[in-house]
Structure 1
Amino acid sequence: MSTQRIKEITVSTLKQWRDNNSMTDSAALSFYLLMSLPAILLFSVSIGSLFLGSGQVPANIAEYMEGVVDPTLLVSLNTFLTNVPETASLSLSALTGILLLMWSAGNVFRQFKKFLDKIWKVPVSKGNFARNFLEDMVLSLLTVVIFGGLVVVSTLLEALMLTGSRLLYTHIPFSGGIQYAGTIAAFMVLVMLFTFIYLVLPDVDLCLICVVSGSVMTAFLITIGKYAIVFYMAHSDLTSVYGIIGSVIGLLLWIYYSSIVITMGAEFIKVYSSYLSEP
């Protein structure tokens, strides 16, 4: 693809993102994500405890959020996640709790599905309302399950990469993959997650190449944005300026920025699909 074409696609993506009032949709998505975040984290830890040690998934989540979240809040979050009841022996109460967490976490994906259907101009179905609502709920719950599973995969992938890097380091001393294992694993999982979301949630058939390209771009921008926010938080004393609310500003910035990037990634996929369909 030529540089001119890349420029045209980028400009068209930004223009359509603005014209579709996606800033407002990003704000709505970030609100739902913030409200659903505890349920998403708890569900992921519950799923992780079925396959991994009880402390591995919370440790990975806390490590991923390190720098974005204030250290005091991070300690509270880590305590909160490590005290999740074990679900290795599934009881009726544990099953009920997991279902409630899935329903709560599904809110963010239901909201995002509405946005995707809007930008793709999917007509509102005139069929049975209860059936449409049930289908959307099932799809959202499936997305939550996939997300929880990918968190587990991320933990396993990071462990494998760390082990491989350490073994490689014994033979190739200049191998420095150990320090980047967590970032690489998280990036790969983000790409898989967004590929699934962009491909499955909207009620349209999409080009796989476009979806994967958009997912890689989205995961890359979110990863870069995370380090930018970490850098900003490390060189600013927000607590002295905003008081106690300063401890959560990094998290709020990250969620809002991520929501903007996610909606922009959806617009990119639409523009790129139009470009590939041109004669």
Structure 2
Amino acid sequence: MDIFPATAPLRLRDIPRLFIRSVQQWSLHRASSKGAALALYTIFSLAPMLILVIAVAGVFFGEEAVQAELVGQLRDLMGQRGAEVIQIVLASAHESGASGLAALISIGVLLFSATTAFNELKTSLDDLWEVPADASAGIKGMVRARLQAFGLILVLAFFLLVSLSVNAGLAAARRYYGEIWNHSTFAWVAELFSNLFSFAVVTALFAAVYKLLPSIRLPWREVIPGAVITALLFIVGKWGIGLYLSRDAVASAYGAAGSVIALLLWIFYSSQVFFFGAVLTHQYSSLRQARARDLDAPAAETAMADTQAHEPAAAPVPVHAATPVAVEPVVGPLPATAATTTVPEDEQIETPPKQAVLLDPARAPTVPPAPKQPS
């Protein structure tokens, strides 16, 4: 069971400080460079990652239905050009077949490649959250990181499966009721519910990554606010980047590589939003802990003062008068404290005799005569 430090809610005046510190830390840790590296890793991991997601979700709905739903959702997120790249990648991946040992090697390479982007994401999050280097890093740490990345791929497949179920239910209702569905109030409510559900799915996905992927653990109450803000920025930015990618500026500038460049731009923007949300989550947790310490300090001082006030005073130590002790006089010669040492005659040092000092009568002090007694 994880034990988290005490935290306290933030005040309204702490919110501007939260965003200012988040922007400073986002710039200090060079999140833009991390986003560029993540975009490159994602391009190489895109095909194996999508294949795993489709394979897991396809068990319930079939691979073709899952692939069509995935491409449709990615088209809504990154535009037509990005979705075209996804379709080409998936078609090329399904055409290449292997068997036997080659199939096993392909599966190993597939798993390693699919978890590469998430491993890079974990490294970036640890740096943004200022996590110290793990002393147990090595083969064990690398295997653990890959397993965590694979677990997040399964989480991604689960969210895709849930979204696919909701969209399939709405599509079935739309086909069953026909024109009645399109002109009813329930259709408007269902569409609003679908949008809110999509927002909740994106928020839950960000929260799961912030909670599970880094090397440190934060409580859900500190992860969810950052995930909500990240999802809002992601949806707002989706419209802007989609509007930019829908124009022909990218295609005319890069030619045949325009679709790939459009996908890279979308991944780069999404990574910037994701990293800013990660920094915001970390700063939110730090400010809550600092707020708790500020509240606990006066309370601790007050409790100490109350404890000292209610403690009974110490009893005074009685001072007793000294009792006189009778000392008996010593009668007789004192005991010798040291042995007598006899010095030989040849080693004795002769001391010159003392001479009397005669005073000069003239210099002798004059003593005044004593006064006479009256007769």
TM range (shorter): 0.7 to 0.9
Q: Normalising by the residue count of structure 2, what TM-score does the alignment of the two structures yield? A: 0.64
Q: State the Cα distance separating 1:255 from its structure 2 match.
A: 0.3
Q: Does 1:61 align with 2:70?
A: yes
Q: Does 1:154 align with 2:163?
A: yes
Q: State how far apart, in whole Å, the 1-side matches of 2:226 and 2:147 are.
A: 25
Superposed counterparts of 1:104-253, under 5 Å: 104-127=113-136, 129-163=138-172, 170=181, 173-174=184-185, 175-176=187-188, 183-253=195-265
Moved more, 107-116 or 233-242: 233-242
1:131-173 Cα distance to aligned partner (Å, 9 max, x none): 2222112112212222222222221132234456788974981
**3-state SS of the aligned residue for 1:66?**
helix
Identity %: 26
Q: Does 1:263 align with 2:275?
A: yes
1:190-230 Cα distance to aligned partner (Å, 9 max, x none): 22222111111112221212211111222222222222122
Instruction: Give the AA of the match of 2:265.
Output: L
Asked if the contact 2:46/2:114 (under 8 Å) is kept, the reply is yes
Instruction: Give the AA of the match of 2:202.
Output: L
Q: State how far apart, in whole Å, the 1-side matches of 2:271 and 2:212 are.
A: 18
Asked if the contact 1:44/1:147 (under 8 Å) is kept, the reply is yes
Q: State how far apart, in whole Å, the 1-side matches of 2:28 and 2:114 are.
A: 29
Instruction: Give the AA of the match of 2:280.
Output: F
1:51-97 Cα distance to aligned partner (Å, 9 max, x none): 112222111222123263445x7456436536866xxxxx9987765
Query: Superposition RMSD on alpha carbons, in Å?
Result: 3.1
Larger Rg: 2
1:165-191 Cα distance to aligned partner (Å, 9 max, x none): 788974981342565676544433222
Q: State how far apart, in whole Å, the 2-side matches of 1:25 and 1:237 are.
A: 26
Q: Measured at CA, do residues 94 and 159 of structure 1 come closer, stay the same or move farther in structure 2, by a change above 3 Å?
A: farther
Q: State the Cα distance separating 1:28 from its structure 2 match.
A: 1.4
Q: Measured at CA, do residues 84 and 180 of structure 1 come closer, stay the same or move farther in structure 2, by a change above 3 Å?
A: farther
Corresponding pairs, count: 274
Q: State how far apart, in whole Å, the 1-side matches of 2:260 and 2:272 are.
A: 19
Q: Does 1:44 align with 2:53?
A: yes
Q: Normalising by the residue count of structure 1, what TM-score does the alignment of the two structures yield? A: 0.83
Superposed counterparts of 1:2-81, under 5 Å: 3-66=12-75, 68-70=78-80, 74-75=83-84, 77-78=86-87, 81=90
Q: State how far apart, in whole Å, the 2-side matches of 1:191 and 1:14 are.
A: 21
Q: State how far apart, in whole Å, the 2-side matches of 1:222 and 1:154 are.
A: 18
Q: Measured at CA, do residues 144 and 246 of structure 1 come closer, stay the same or move farther in structure 2, by a change above 3 Å?
A: same
What residue is the counterpart of 2:299 in the other structure? none
Q: Measured at CA, do residues 61 and 92 of structure 1 come closer, stay the same or move farther in structure 2, by a change above 3 Å?
A: farther
Moved more, 246-255 or 171-180: 171-180
Asked if the contact 2:80/2:246 (under 8 Å) is kept, the reply is no
